[in-house]
Amino acid sequence: MSRSNPRVLNTLERAGGFASAQEVYRLMQREGQSIGLTTVYRALQSLVNDKIVDILRREDGEAIYRLCGDSHHHHLVCKGCGDTIEIEGGAVEKWAKSLAEEHGFRDVGHTAEIFGLCSKC
């Protein structure tokens, strides 16, 4: 029962591999594709199950879906102006991996974001 609707996956790809369910839905609507919001949610959930996309959270709690295989990176976010800088997370990758192993976890992912005030704010 793979509900990984290819049109949804395709839209997520074209959205830069990083979008919320609502955004994917609105984008497909705008393009004239006929699809229901429910199906978008189901397709994304299915893609998550199949480990084709990751799920993260925006600051306001909205879920955003990230295509796996996208170059994995983290964010440095300014609490003042909202500016976001993509950063590498080498140290974090190693940290997450070694700790997970240490506790016998498998199939491991992680999130890591840094926030503060940028020099302008």
Residues 6+ apart with CB under 8 A from 82: none
Closest approach, Cβ 3 to a second copy, in A, equals 19
Q: Which residue has the tokens 């940028």?
A: 118
Q: Using CB under 8 A, which of the segments 4-12, 20-28, 30-38, 107-115 binds a second copy?
A: 107-115
State the helix-helix crossing angle for 21-30 and 37-49, rounded to 10 degrees. 130
Closest approach, Cβ 114 to DNA, in A, equals 21
Binding residues with a second copy: total (CB under 8 A): 34
Which residue, 1 or 91, has its beta carbon nearer to DNA?
1
Closest approach, Cβ 11 to DNA, in A, equals 12
Edge to edge, the sheet with strand 18-20 lists: 18-20, 63-67, 53-57
